[in-house]
Structure 1
Amino acid sequence: MRAARDVRAVAAVAVVTVIALALPACGGAAPRPDAQGVRSPAGPRIIRRIEPADLLPADLDLVVRVDVARMRGDLGQAAADELARRALDEVPDEALESALHRADVVWLGLRLADLEEGDRVVVLEGRMAGLTPDPDRWEAAPVAKGVQGGVAVFDRRDGAAGARADTARIVALGDRAVALVSAVEVSSVARVLRDGPDERRGDPAAEGLVSLDLRARRLPPSLTRRFPSIGAVVAGVERVRAVASLTDEGVRLDVEIVGVDPAGAARARRLLEVLRDNVEDARYVDLMKALSIEQVERTVRLRWLFPAPLVLALLSRSPPG
């Protein structure tokens, strides 16, 4: 079955792909502006502390969390730096690379329907003191009333002159974190700064090396007509959460798929079982057998162990034996 052959490759590189894609090109952004920033108007106001993940608005249906500090501790500095280097291959901005090296946790929020356009918010939390923007490219913007002191906002001086995926706004939470915001998401991030975090925003578990939270949406009508079976499966899924953790045996992937109802969850479970049980390449049979799938009411749980030799082969970009 061709679908099974296609999915086995996707599954085999899932963990490394999530890590590598969690920090895509951020379009000439300069991280961490000067903490002095723009002063809010004087007068009584409620001081509200902004947490880094609060900057991710709910319209971003996929949020990936990368525990960079844990990655350095579990994989070693060299491996963590190599993954970071791959993620930044197409990013010429040295300041962004410096911000990543200082980060302990990175969040990436994306809207899958506009993935190619690059609508996203990247938030880096860590030791951001000492990183300043280029004053020739960035200018201070007003900060909403009620926002904690120390928050600074900077906009590109060339406005909308860059590509849609370029960083159009920088939000700095003192020396704690910096957010790189693409043009389309500027208004949404301004709203959560002003009004507080969205209740339905993506919230990956603070576990493992990499975790994600995906709110599933229906396929576009054109794709649903072409692939009605896949469209029915996607329509029956409400949310997907996953955590990739490093163990002595390799990398364990724990996934929870929540269906809109038990029938929707069952459709997702049956598709996954077909993909698991119809692998033709002998090299991947044992790997696919290690995939555990079970359903409890409207929740499907997957547990999958990627053996250490396979993970090392993927990290080194050499094909598995």
Structure 2
Amino acid sequence: MRAAAELRARAAAAAAAAALIALALPACGDAAPGLAGERGARSAAGPRIVRRVEPADLIPADLDLVVRVDVARMRAGLGQAAADELARRALDEAPDEVLESALRRADVVWLGLRLADLEEGDRVVVLEGRMAGLAPDPDRWEAAPPPLGGVSVFDRRGDVDTRAEAARIIALGERAVALVSAVEVSSVARVLRDGPDARRGDPAAEGLVSLDLRARRLPIPLARRFPSLGALVAGVERVRAVASLDDAGVRLDAEIVGVDAAGATRAGRFLEVLRDNVEDARYAGLMKALSVDQVERTVRLRWLIPAPLVLALLSRRPAAEPTEPTEPTEPTEPTPGAP
């Protein structure tokens, strides 16, 4: 009897604790901190939903090429003029007033693309930095219901003129802004609702520019027209690269991962053929600096691009003569079986 009384007392205490927790939960939900001090958005069901969303998480996995540009490091390493020139070129292709304003405030930019549809322009551009005060023109954009606390959504009024033009703007508080093309609106909405895609592109947070490409097979018509190229692409699983500033120029470090060792070998041989068969003496020395090494199914590349050539590319001037001219070399015959 005594034991039974103790059990009933414990059960009553547990029930009382559960009731207190249940009563406390709504209050905790109302007081949950939002992103950067903002209050959470109330869902249709009532409770507030707050989840930390990282800027790069907005890029869905269906965009197989993701490029990360460290704008702040670029300004510090290349100078404000060169950084502004690169930003201006980007704006020439996508003249959007929100993008123009966000680029001036950005420290890091991510660009997600679908490699097979580069001409159509399906993309997601995410800019992280000091976005306080950035507001879309209300005559061109209208606010949409926010899916999460600390997230604001704006949809373009009317139809977009081109497939690459931004149809939706997503603001993560005052720390990041994303411009989403029309085709990618539903994919980004899914990512916001369900969380980031596990297989999304994830460039390394290193260097001036980095990229992550998850290779896919060529479209069937192209693969039939160019079977060697189709076999080469089909043998590649992933490409990751980082371009870093060096005292002598820009250093490129890249890894090509094949679906198997044979696929990696085809990719390595293809690059060696390109490197060894440059006929223009002005660029032969530059290409010879490309190092290609294979370890099992991974091909590693190292390449140093001299500073004068980098500056010439940035300034749109014709490339100067190489600093160390080399004698013309006879083109080598491609390796048998290479693409």
TM range (shorter): 0.7 to 0.9
- Residue type of the partner of 1:82? E
- Residue type of the partner of 2:152? A
Cα distance in 1 for partners of 2:308, 2:137 equals: 44
Aligned pairs for 1:1-321 within 5 A? 40-41=43-44, 43-44=46-47, 47-144=50-147, 147=148, 149-158=149-158, 160-320=159-319, 321=321
- Residue type of the partner of 1:189? V
Do the aligned partners of residues 234 and 306 (structure 1) sit closer, same or farther apart at CA in structure 2, a change above 3 Å counting? Answer: same
- Unpaired segments of 5 or more residues in structure 2? 1-37, 322-339
Is 71-80 or 257-266 further displaced after alignment?
Answer: 71-80
Cα shift at 1:94: 3.8
SS at match of 1:276: helix
Cα distance in 1 for partners of 2:263, 2:95 equals: 44
8 Å CA contact retained: 2:169, 2:180: yes
Cα shift at 1:131: 1.0
- Residue type of the partner of 1:120? R
8 Å CA contact retained: 1:38, 1:153: no
Is 162-171 or 116-125 further displaced after alignment?
Answer: 162-171
Cα shift at 1:42: 6.4
- Residue type of the partner of 1:53? A
Cα distance in 1 for partners of 2:95, 2:301 equals: 38
Cα shift at 1:285: 1.2
TM-score, normalisation: structure 1:
0.84
Give the aligned partner of residue 20 of structure 1: none
TM-score, normalisation: structure 2:
0.80
Larger radius of gyration: 2
8 Å CA contact retained: 1:214, 1:241: yes
Cα shift at 1:43: 3.3
Poorly superposed stretches of 4+, deviation over 3 Å: 35-46, 90-95
Cα distance in 1 for partners of 2:195, 2:95 equals: 33
Percent of residue pairs identical: 83
Cα shift at 1:39: 5.0
- Residue type of the partner of 1:153? V
8 Å CA contact retained: 1:40, 1:142: no
Cα shift at 1:38: 6.9
SS at match of 1:206: coil
- Unpaired segments of 5 or more residues in structure 1? 1-34
Do the aligned partners of residues 304 and 161 (structure 1) sit closer, same or farther apart at CA in structure 2, a change above 3 Å counting? Answer: closer
- Residue type of the partner of 1:57? P
